[in-house]
Amino acid sequence: MWQALYEELADRNFMVIAVAMDSREGDPLPWIEAARPTYVTLIDREHRLAELYGVVNVPQAIWIDEQGRIARPAETAGVYEGFRRMNRATREMPEDVARTMAEARTTYLDAIRDWVRHGAESEHALQPDQARAHLPALTEDIVTAQAMFRLGQFLIRHAEREEGDRWLAEASRRHPDSWCIWRQRAGVNDQGLAALPDFWERVDALGDRRYYTRVDMKGMP
């Protein structure tokens, strides 16, 4: 959907920069090459973007205007957690859930279109004080977890996989809201699809809590 939106709004000085939050060597490249995007696509192996902008899951988006001001901090980008009601055997989605997911995508993309056309006057562009209020609070645990994540990745890249995984586990424990950290740890043990039950177990453990943080935007579920 981002390629289509980029092409639609390219003449309005709109730019998409996609960042793959993947620390595993080579993993995102086949997907990026298959999609053949014409916008900028980067791979953030050390999750620097997550540190700078508070990214904890994917897909998330940050709106930045021409002056470099954050118009909307990191937030869930046009998706809805209807996957939790998916039939895990057939991967089929109930009709009402599929409809809600489509509506969420349309609502979010229309909000971007409105912002691109109207800038700071758009109802979806937050004022500076509002944007600051939406920024996630940094805690000592979060900052420590980010450092532990980088250390773990360094050790894994230098053939100290067991020790690196230990640091990733501690990083995830300290920052449990970061699915980005957890997801990278789940992939370092060469489990492949065997890691999938771990994901569903963690999702189910959320109970009534959301997987994707609710977006503060009219019309978003």
Axis-axis angle for helices 161-174, 179-186 (nearest 10): 160
Q: Is the pLDDT of residue 28 over 90?
A: no
Q: CA separation (Å) from 6 to 9, 185, 187, 196, 202?
A: 5, 32, 31, 32, 34
User: Residues 217, 111: contact at Cβ < 8 Å?
Assistant: yes
Share of the chain above pLDDT 70, in %: 95
Please give the tally of structural domains in the chain.
Answer: 2
User: Are 21 and 93 in the same domain?
Assistant: yes
Mean pLDDT of 25-32: 74
Of 28-37, 63-72, 97-106, which range is least confident? 28-37
Indicate whether this model's pTM tops 0.85: yes
pLDDT of residue 191: 47
Least confident span in 34-38, 121-125, 175-179: 34-38
Among 134, 156, 173, identify where a domain stops.
Answer: 134
Residue 217 maps to a domain: no
Tell me the residue range of the domain where 164 lies. 140-204
Task: Assign 184 a pLDDT band (cuts: 50, 70, 90).
Answer: confident
